[in-house]
Amino acid sequence: MSTTINADVLVVGFGKGGKTVAAKLGGLGRNVVLVEQSDQMYGGTCPNVGCVPTKALVHHSRKRRPEDAPQEWYARSVAEVHALTSMFRAGNRDAMQSAETITLLTGRARFTGPHTVEVAQGGGHATVTADTIVINTGSEPIVPDIAGLRDSKRLVTSTDLIHSTDLPERLVIIGGGYLGLEFASIYGQFGSQVTVLEAAPEILGRLDDDVAEAALDVMRGEGVEFVTSAAVTEVRDGVAQTDVVYERDGQRHSVPADAVLAAVGRAPVIRGLDLDAAGVRTSERGGIEVDEHLRTSQPHIFALGDVNGGPQFTYISLDDSRIVLDHLVGEGRRSRADRVAIPATLFMTPPLATVGLTEREARAAGHRVRIAKQAVADIVAMPRAYVVEETRGLMKFVLDAETDEILGAALLSVDAQEIVNTIALAMRHHVTAAELRDAVYTHPSSTEALNDVLAMSEGGDRRPGAC
């Protein structure tokens, strides 16, 4: 059975950016077709296999008491997280299906021409033609080409791991980036013995050494083992375990595992789209090539989110949708160049949030800098850290010595993922460190730490007593 649909707008991929474009244009009366290849991915990566389930697991892992059996607690946590993601998925589906101007198709899409896509569904296919097309197919985990890895029965991706109710006793993570470190923190807290193998000589090497070491010390204190300069050469399955073989300093080593997580990054999902048929070019790194306005080599086709090779964050996909919508129904002025001071958070516990330049980067760029830094345990104006029993970490600010503006910040602390948004907003609007230092914040809160930490950049101790 085949059908033909003529639409104003076709959105391929039900991610954050795609659904935002579809909802907005549908609300303006445009005839929109939204295609998603799986009914398990309505809403995209974030609510199904990304941000929501992983951060929910962070929360559940921290609630486990010493007397709670790890496997039992983990299985219960995964079940609760699955219930949460199912709720989000259903909400996304219902929001689209209830809109009279939006048609939701579930099936695999492939281009047959610049304006035409064929969608393979269970009982046949649909041919969709549209004046404007938006590609929002996201990204997928990369499995590196290591001997024995892809065939290993104990190989897991991040998606596999969060869908399993079996807690691995020994988890080996290949890759020490943000994804690998988040899973190391999560599963270490659930009770797994975690080993992280990183090929580079440093983990979190982009950060200043003091910040990176503070973050790693937190995880080491929870039992996570890190091995740097570790080139994984082979993965060997045995009956009772898998051995992950790596070379370091010219010597071969191996570490046993019940599960091996490949956490070396994610690649844009373009396989099967037949982009050549639409005349859409891809970049050397495998993403869809776009300009600053997210137009592809075909002016009527846009690519947003992970698939365009940009930063792989849900909030970037959302901002991508704003750029596209501005060009379709707005003034056409927004572009990726407008983005300033975009924060990022590694959701370990406590979270590590960063924005702007590191001290090393600021000095290399020629800035005269002042540094404001304190250990969280020493910030007397931040009693919230003691209230919630999380005093680990530090806060570090890189300040321009001439303008007093904030060049960058690294926050390893409770609520860092929230505080960093205030810092980023201040940076975008050229609010000085002195203004943040002297601002009035609620009490007890984490934000009021700015009163204390930013005072330290003056070289003196202006701190009042706690409370």
Query: Would you kindly state where each structural domain of the chain is located, as residue ranges?
Result: 2-139+267-338, 155-264, 344-458
Q: Is 176 annotated as a binding residue?
A: yes
Q: Is 325 annotated as a binding residue?
A: no
Q: Which fold has domain 344-458?
A: Enolase-like; domain 1 (3.30.390)
Q: Is 175 annotated as a binding residue?
A: yes
The pLDDT value given to residue 121:
87
**The pTM is what?**
0.93
Closest CA to 92 of 151, 38, 44: 44
Same-fold call for 2-139+267-338 versus 155-264:
yes
Largest separation between any pair of C-alpha atoms in the chain: 77
The contacts of residue 360 (CB under 8 Å, 6+ apart) are 208
Q: Digits of tens for pLDDT over the chain (467 positions)?
A: 689 999 999 999 999 999 999 999 999 999 999 999 998 899 998 889 889 999 999 999 999 888 889 999 999 999 999 999 999 999 999 999 999 999 999 999 999 999 999 999 887 899 999 999 999 999 999 999 999 999 999 999 999 999 999 999 999 999 999 999 999 999 999 999 999 999 999 999 999 999 999 999 999 999 999 999 999 999 999 999 999 999 999 999 999 999 999 999 999 999 999 999 999 999 988 999 999 999 999 999 999 999 999 999 999 999 999 999 999 999 999 999 999 999 999 999 999 999 999 999 999 999 999 999 999 999 988 999 999 999 999 999 999 999 999 999 999 999 999 999 999 999 999 999 999 999 999 999 999 999 999 998 754 344 444 45
Architecture of domain 2-139+267-338: 3-Layer(bba) Sandwich (3.50)
SS3 content of the chain, % helix, strand, coil (to 5): 35, 30, 40
CATH class for the domain made up of 155-264: alpha beta
Q: Is 180 annotated as a binding residue?
A: yes
- The residues that are catalytic are 443
Token duo for residue 390: 């999380």
Q: How far is CA 28 from the centre of its chain?
A: 31
Q: Is 112 annotated as a binding residue?
A: no
Q: Is 246 annotated as a binding residue?
A: no
Q: Is 15 annotated as a binding residue?
A: no
- Residue 111 pairs with which residues in a beta bridge? 117
The pLDDT value given to residue 459:
42
Pairing of the two strands 394-400 and 193-197: unpaired
H/E element, 363? helix 359-364
Pairing of the two strands 266-268 and 139-141: antiparallel
The pLDDT value given to residue 461:
40
- Residue 172 pairs with which residues in a beta bridge? 195, 260
Each residue of 205-249: pLDDT tens digit? 999 999 999 999 999 999 999 999 999 999 999 999 999 999 999
The pLDDT value given to residue 417:
97
Pairing of the two strands 124-135 and 2-12: parallel
State how far the Cα of 339 lies from the Cα of 321, in Å rounded to an integer: 13
The pLDDT value given to residue 467:
53
